[in-house]
């Protein structure tokens, strides 16, 4: 698997860029289709009880797991993101920590979910840690929401905002090798959508890491071009609309 950026300093700045805009992230990023989370849980060899939301951010995925009846621990390295998660989901156990050093005991969870974040991990130590905390027969499930570029206007908009690293997973450009101790990854796709307006879609885009770390002039230029496009597009220029999304999901069972 290749890294989303080849500059380690930029990669690290982007990985830790989210916390300063944690409230905007919580308000404007999409959640995940329940069917996608349920598919992961169905992959567990025994009834799944304990889940880990790794790189939980503000709890978008945590919330979905709670609604599916999973007892979730959320782990997240950014204090700003974790504070937002705790504010929104006060009953969830929320721990500061990172994928390469998970603050949980050995063989303590049935499922590890990773929403929109695996590309930030150092994969070898992260998968060793995930293997350590998973019970045999448990699953690891990385997943990404991304723009559904089979819809022409979404493809055009996506090209203007250069919408992030996740697109590569949808195109099959990136694949996941089988980590030690796991069965090979299976892959699935789910349709999803987010109700947006011009302003709220631009607010979503502004929480993407490449814009969070961009020079202000470059950021303003991209957002202005995106606004002009959305206002001129009949599908988006007249009030609320659905942004078509696809959720690409991988799951692998711990042996």
Ligand X SMILES: C[S@@+](CC[C@H](N)C(=O)[O-])C[C@H]1O[C@@H](n2cnc3c(N)ncnc32)[C@H](O)[C@@H]1O
Helix/strand/coil (H/E/C) assignment for every residue in 84-137: HHHHHCCCCEEEECECCECCCCCCCEEEEEEECCHHHCCHHHHHHHHHHHEEEE
Distance in angstroms (rounded) separating the CA atoms of residues 29 and 221: 21
Between 30 and 43, CB nearer to ligand X: 30
Q: How far is the CB of 98 from ligand X (least distance, A)?
A: 4
Q: How far is the CB of 115 from ligand X (least distance, A)?
A: 3
Q: How far is the CB of 121 from ligand X (least distance, A)?
A: 5
Q: How far is the CB of 152 from ligand X (least distance, A)?
A: 26
Between 81 and 104, CB nearer to ligand X: 81
Helix axis angle for 60-67 and 34-42, nearest 10°, is 70
Helix/strand/coil (H/E/C) assignment for every residue in 40-92: HHHCCCCCCCEEEEECCCCCHHHHHHHHCCCEEEEEECCHHHHHHHHHHCCCC
Which residue, among 162, 167, 178, 164, has the nearest Cα to 223 in the 3D structure? 162
- Nearest residue by C-beta to ligand X? 57
The full DSSP string for 142-163 is EEEEEE-TTSHHHHHHHHHHT-
Binding residues vs ligand X (CB under 6 A)? 15, 18, 29, 55-57, 60-61, 76-78, 81, 98-100, 115-117, 120-121
Between 127 and 229, CB nearer to ligand X: 127
Between 95 and 235, CB nearer to ligand X: 95
Q: How far is the CB of 89 from ligand X (least distance, A)?
A: 12
Q: How far is the CB of 66 from ligand X (least distance, A)?
A: 14
Between 117 and 202, CB nearer to ligand X: 117
Phi, psi of 210 (to 5 degrees): -70, -25
Between 72 and 236, CB nearer to ligand X: 72
The token pair at 179 is 């980590």
């Amino acid at each position: 698997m290749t890294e989303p950026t080849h500059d380690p300093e930029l990669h690290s700045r982007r990985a830790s860029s989210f916390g300063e805009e944690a409230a905007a992230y919580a308000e404007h990023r999409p959640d995940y289709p329940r069917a996608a989370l349920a598919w992961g849980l169905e992959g567990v060899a025994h009834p799944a009880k304990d889940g880990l939301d790794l790189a939980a951010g503000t709890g978008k995925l945590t919330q979905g797991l709670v609604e599916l009846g999973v007892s979730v621990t959320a782990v997240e390295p950014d204090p700003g993101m974790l504070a937002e998660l705790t504010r929104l989901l006060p009953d969830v156990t929320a721990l500061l920590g990172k994928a390469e050093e998970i603050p949980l005991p050995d063989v303590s969870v049935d499922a590890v979910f990773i929403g929109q974040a695996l590309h930030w991990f150092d994969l070898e130590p992260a998968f060793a840690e995930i293997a350590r905390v998973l019970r045999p027969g448990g699953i690891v499930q990385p997943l990404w929401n991304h723009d559904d570029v089979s819809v022409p206007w979404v493809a055009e908009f996506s090209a203007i905002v250069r919408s992030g690293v996740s697109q590569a997973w949808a195109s099959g450009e990136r694949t996941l090798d089988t980590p030690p101790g796991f069965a090979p990854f299976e892959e699935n796709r789910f349709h999803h959508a987010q109700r947006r307006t011009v302003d709220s879609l631009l607010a979503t885009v502004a929480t993407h890491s490449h814009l969070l770390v961009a020079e202000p002039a470059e950021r303003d230029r991209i957002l202005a071009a995106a606004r002009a496009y959305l206002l001129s597009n009949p599908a988006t220029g007249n009030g609320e609309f659905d942004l078509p999304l696809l959720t690409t999901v991988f799951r692998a069972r711990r042996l």
